[in-house]
Structure 1
Amino acid sequence: MKKRLLLIFAAMFFAGNCAMYAQIVNEDIDNENEEEEVEEVEVPAEDEISLTDKEGNEEIIEFPEAMTYDLDSLLNLYMSKTYLAIPGDCEMKNENPTFSKEVYIERLSRIPSVMELSYNDIVQKFIDRYSGRLRYSVSYMLGAANFYMPIFEEALESYQLPLELKYLPIIESALNPKAVSRVGATGLWQFMLGTGRQYGLEINSLVDERRDPVKSSYAAARYLRDLYRIFGDWNLVIAAYNCGPENINKAIRRYRADKGRTENETITADDKDYWKLYPYLPGETRGYVPAFIAANYIMTYYCDHNICPMTTRLPSQSDTIVVNKNVHIEQIAGVIGTDADLIRSLNPAYRRDIIPGATKPSAIRLPIADVGRFIDNEDSVYNFRATELLTRRAVVDVNDDLPTFTRSSRSSYSRNGRYSRRNARNRGRGGASVTVRKGQTLSEIAKRNGTTVAKLRRLNGIRGNNIRAGKKIRVR
């Protein structure tokens, strides 16, 4: 039985090699059991891998930031707690089968793709990571795919782009719509502020359309289209999405210079071969295309690695109404009796819970059953706690655990705005600590302080994901 969410969520299903991405169920979900079952088997993530070439030289490759996210940050999302659950009829085995090189090559060749899905030792390392340490995060992403993949595919199809690009948000955000990187890249597609505005996304103090799954997906499709017009090679497009086109052009220039080619000579296909440019690329970007190939692999062959998708109960249908006055989400929830968190999940672009209808007509998405109640009680909604909710400002503690940007910290940012974890590791080892606030997770503390969950665990001897509010923990 199919259900469909108007505009934002579509109940489309995608066949994998042995099952749909996730089963659709209607029964209620026990959120506490869901988190406990997964937390017991979660393995701390690391943020890099090492490879040794035939000459014995070691290479360190950084994981994309989303591959270091702690599982609890994904399971604590409203959509996860409400609509996803551990599958009851699929045994999630801890055994991760290993296969021969020929099997991986053959499987990658069977994925319908116009893009080159190469196999090598680097790709294998990323496949091993997804099928091993990140297998429970993959289980989450397979379930969340029912929410987001239809949106991604529709946006990509509208610009006639390869549908395989729908897996970019796997390595950008781990399908976390609230993801914010250390440098401020935001949303499923991890747009930086400038690029988001360049591609038509509204971003201000009240609205951030990078958080909107639909609008950000169409903006990402336009950006990917433009990158392909520049490079004409999909591997370079994917790399440029990570590090910026200027860094790809710099890598091409350096490669050509090492080959003795002059600037007047025509750029050839050889000059735009990702694997030949590989040594000239920024550190994290070297792992980006291999991670993309591995994401395509694991989202297709998860069953062969004993990974069970989380079951999905699709949200009820929703629709939009337009408001011409400022209105707070808690005003709507308080009058029509709808869960405020549900309204927030349907309207992720409103960053401070205020829909700024007074500035320009603004749309608010509500469950269909609540649209009529809003219309019938619209005046009451606008008047409910208006002074309190529309004029209050958040109170923050100065010098608590908010990041401080100093001259030395600027060096951790590359020219293209990306954050280098390696540079960050080498700065400030003075043993700073923060106090855990109620409701905070390890992943939130790690992001706020420019570190990783794995390092917080090591510094503080923490096992698992549970931390006590009021406890002081070291962040470096």
Structure 2
Amino acid sequence: MSYRVTTKSSSNSSALSWSTMLCLAFLSLGCLSAKKQVAQTEAPPDPVDREPQMQTVATEAEPESLADVEDDSVPLPTSDDPSLLANQGEPEDATAFQPDAHHHHAAGEGEPEESLTPRQMLEQALGAYQLSQEAWKSGELEAALSELDNAYTLILGIDERQNPEILQEKDDLRYLISRRVVEIYASRTTSVGDLKKSIPIVINEHVEREIRSFQTRERKFFLASYKRSGMYRPMVEKVLAENGMPQQLIWLALIESGFKTNALSRARALGLWQFIPSTGYRYGLERNRYIDERMDPIKATNSAIAYLQDLHNLFGDWLTALAAYNCGEGRVQRVINGQRLNYLDNFWDLYEQLPRETARYVPRFLATLAILEDPAKYGFDLPELDAPMNFEIVKVDRPLYLSEVERRLGLPAKSLKKLNPELRYGLTPDVTYNLRVPPTYAEQAVTALAEIPAGELPADAYVVHRVRRGESLYTIAKKYKTTIGRIVAANKMNNKNRIWPGQKLKVPGRGVKLPPPTVAASSGSWVTHKVRSGDNLWRLAGQYNTTIGKIKSWNKLSSSRLSLGQTLKIQQGSASKQYRVQRGDTMAKIAKKLGVSLTKLLRANNMSKRDKIYPNQALVVP
């Protein structure tokens, strides 16, 4: 279920005292803050038509300028607009707006006494904030709001000039109050028991501008991206459901990458969910000379959902969390801390102060939701979705070129690359790798793989560098630890002195340092593993050469769900002795050859007598 909120500007506003304004804001049932009724200048004109700037997606276009806010005052309620007071059940008279009639301070009723020191007032405000915490946990939202109003009235009266050291503490408490208001607002605008299942669709001039963009110059991009979404949609929806998160978040990938696994931005963000290397590493995405898991749709989806969940827990509001996903939580945190607004009600209080790209990012997401909720209303006839990604797993224990595997199996060119996009050079790693092959091809693939010779990485693996303003071939060569001559040769350049901003250069990447190999714990030893984003029991069992059942047993886990930061005790499995199946082998022949019973051999490999074996298949020897 979706919730639609349409915001409008009000041209008539009356200035009130801050305490009166906050009292009015909390008394409003439909919206915590009447600051949404601000006067705004005329919306700026649409930007000039232009092509998308991202290499594979249309999300890098320069956003238009934003409307300026003229006034931040709150209109007085009128006799025919009693809704502002309906929430409290109080008579609609002047006393309803008096702070001393409704604000109960920690030290008693009435306004804070003038004799209180700034420190005492801050302590009273903190006490009121703590009371609001208790009320909110008990489900008493109105009481929680009343105490937050109480706390804010107190810090308004603090004159930090009397005690400059208290300024930071005052600002910190103001931010805590703002964040709690966001969380309470979210809980009031979403149905009970459904707190994470829907993102309200706000329609305002910024969102309408992005809708017009999708209807016109970005129409082809929008329709093509929607069509590609079919390949990944069932998988993403399943992960979102497992984590209790809004299904609408799947469409974040439309504006991030256009549902292209190889989408690369100017900021070097890569993949379906546009991870930069550092954030990808934080959330468990590996990158080495063979693979870049940012391009793996399944692994990257798990990491993206974990990151979004962390951001929502941090900010308490989905739109603010999405802004942080785009420009980083640190940037949004600094904007919030330095805001000039006295209450942070939601994302739109931050809109004017965010980077231009991020300010456009959230309206683009909301525009996408609005269009997909009612395509006909906006003039869209959506195409048929691509077929969902479907595959079987075959284990490969040496480097093999996908093109050669495709040739041996009679598959269309690049069909395996489409299923295994994380392979940077179309070459499987030099360690055991789970290769995805089309359904029904697993048996044929096992036979074919045994006959394919091992491949090697190219002597020179290239990286693509986008030239920035002020760069020269010298600085680029130095950055990548190569020579100007090699760059010139790789790009077949006639004039080595002529490069320009935005130009793409192939740079030989021999100088790129590779991460050191991971040293596994000695077999049989116990290790302590701290769960991080992207971890699951299946991945940990493979990492430590053990089973999911054993990990659950050792740690007394009743379910397969893991929590970030959770500590697990795991015994490193010993490296098992293996037998490689030969042509003409049967399980009975192999058991006799190895001197073990057939029953033990079948049990060690989790097989029955009816299971088939294939040449080159690896079997565990008990």
What TM-score do you get using the length of structure 1 for normalisation? Answer: 0.57
Aligned to 1:134: 218
1:115-156 per-position Cα deviation (integer Å, ceiling 9, x unaligned): 232111111100111122222222212322211221221121
| Matched residue SS, 1:185 | coil
Contact 1:169 1:188 in 2 (8 A): yes
| Matched residue SS, 1:142 | helix
Matched, 1:390 2:439: no
1:136-193 per-position Cα deviation (integer Å, ceiling 9, x unaligned): 2222123222112212211212211111111111111111221000111011100111
Distance in 2 between residues matched to 1:230 and 1:119, nearest whole Å: 25
Tell me which of 144, 156, 175 is aligned to 2:228: 144
Paired residue type of 1:114: S
Matched, 1:203 2:270: no
Distance in 2 between residues matched to 1:372 and 1:346, nearest whole Å: 17
Distance in 2 between residues matched to 1:210 and 1:296, nearest whole Å: 25
Q: How do residues 1-40 of structure 1 correspond to structure 2 at under 5 angstroms?
A: none
Aligned to 2:439: 368
Tell me which of 309, 323, 335 is aligned to 1:251: 335
Paired residue type of 1:448: K
**Further displaced range: 237-246 or 331-340:** 331-340
1:299, distance to aligned residue in structure 2 (A): 2.1
1:412-467 per-position Cα deviation (integer Å, ceiling 9, x unaligned): xxxxxxxxxxxxxxxxxxxxxxx999xxxxxxx97838xxxxxxxxxxxxxxxxxx
1:332, distance to aligned residue in structure 2 (A): 1.2
| Matched residue SS, 1:242 | helix
Paired residue type of 1:232: G
Q: How do residues 155-234 of structure 1 correspond to structure 2 at under 5 angstroms?
A: 155-234=239-318
Distance in 1 between residues matched to 2:388 and 2:234, nearest whole Å: 14
Contact 1:151 1:213 in 2 (8 A): no
Distance in 2 between residues matched to 1:149 and 1:115, nearest whole Å: 18
Distance in 1 between residues matched to 2:40 and 2:457, nearest whole Å: 64
Tell me which of 342, 361, 364 is aligned to 1:288: 361
Aligned to 1:403: 466
Distance in 2 between residues matched to 1:166 and 1:313, nearest whole Å: 15
Contact 1:61 1:286 in 2 (8 A): no
1:349-372 per-position Cα deviation (integer Å, ceiling 9, x unaligned): 10111111x33x211011123221
Aligned to 2:424: 351
RMSD of equivalent CA atoms: 3.6
Distance in 2 between residues matched to 1:273 and 1:62, nearest whole Å: 30
Give the structure with higher Rg (CA).
2
1:66, distance to aligned residue in structure 2 (A): 10
Q: How do residues 281-360 of structure 1 correspond to structure 2 at under 5 angstroms?
A: 281-312=354-385, 314=387, 317-356=390-429, 358-359=430-431
Query: Identical aligned pairs, as a percentage?
Result: 26
Aligned to 2:238: 154
Contact 2:467 2:502 in 1 (8 A): no
1:379, distance to aligned residue in structure 2 (A): 2.2
Structure 1 residues 447 and 308, CA gap change in structure 2 (3 angstroms)? farther
Q: How do residues 412-431 of structure 1 correspond to structure 2 at under 5 angstroms?
A: none
Structure 1 residues 116 and 68, CA gap change in structure 2 (3 angstroms)? farther
Distance in 1 between residues matched to 2:46 and 2:389, nearest whole Å: 46
Structure 1 residues 299 and 254, CA gap change in structure 2 (3 angstroms)? same
Paired residue type of 2:230: N
Distance in 2 between residues matched to 1:119 and 1:292, nearest whole Å: 11
Tell me which of 428, 442, 448 is aligned to 2:504: 448
Aligned to 1:265: none
Contact 1:319 1:365 in 2 (8 A): yes
Distance in 1 between residues matched to 2:313 and 2:48, nearest whole Å: 28
**Further displaced range: 179-188 or 54-63:** 54-63
Distance in 1 between residues matched to 2:317 and 2:378, nearest whole Å: 31
Aligned to 1:120: 204
Structure 1 residues 317 and 341, CA gap change in structure 2 (3 angstroms)? same
1:365-412 per-position Cα deviation (integer Å, ceiling 9, x unaligned): 11123221221233212x2xx4xx425335769xxx953457579xxx
Contact 2:231 2:388 in 1 (8 A): no
Structure 1: 5+ residue stretches without partners: 1-52, 75-108, 262-269, 410-434, 438-444, 450-476
1:344, distance to aligned residue in structure 2 (A): 0.5
Higher relative contact order (CA 8 A, sep 6+): 1
Structure 1 residues 447 and 128, CA gap change in structure 2 (3 angstroms)? farther
Contact 1:131 1:302 in 2 (8 A): no
Structure 1 residues 67 and 292, CA gap change in structure 2 (3 angstroms)? farther
Aligned to 2:161: none
1:283, distance to aligned residue in structure 2 (A): 1.2
Paired residue type of 2:236: F
Contact 2:232 2:388 in 1 (8 A): no
1:301-331 per-position Cα deviation (integer Å, ceiling 9, x unaligned): 2233332333346278420111122222123
1:62, distance to aligned residue in structure 2 (A): 11
Distance in 1 between residues matched to 2:439 and 2:43, nearest whole Å: 60
Distance in 2 between residues matched to 1:314 and 1:170, nearest whole Å: 17
What TM-score do you get using the length of structure 2 for normalisation? Answer: 0.45
1:264-316 per-position Cα deviation (integer Å, ceiling 9, x unaligned): xxxxxx32521111122111111111111001112222233332333346278
Contact 2:405 2:448 in 1 (8 A): no
Structure 2: 5+ residue stretches without partners: 1-38, 58-189, 191-195, 473-490, 494-500, 506-622
Paired residue type of 2:424: R
| Matched residue SS, 2:291 | coil
Paired residue type of 2:466: P
Aligned to 1:3: none
Q: How many residues align?
A: 307
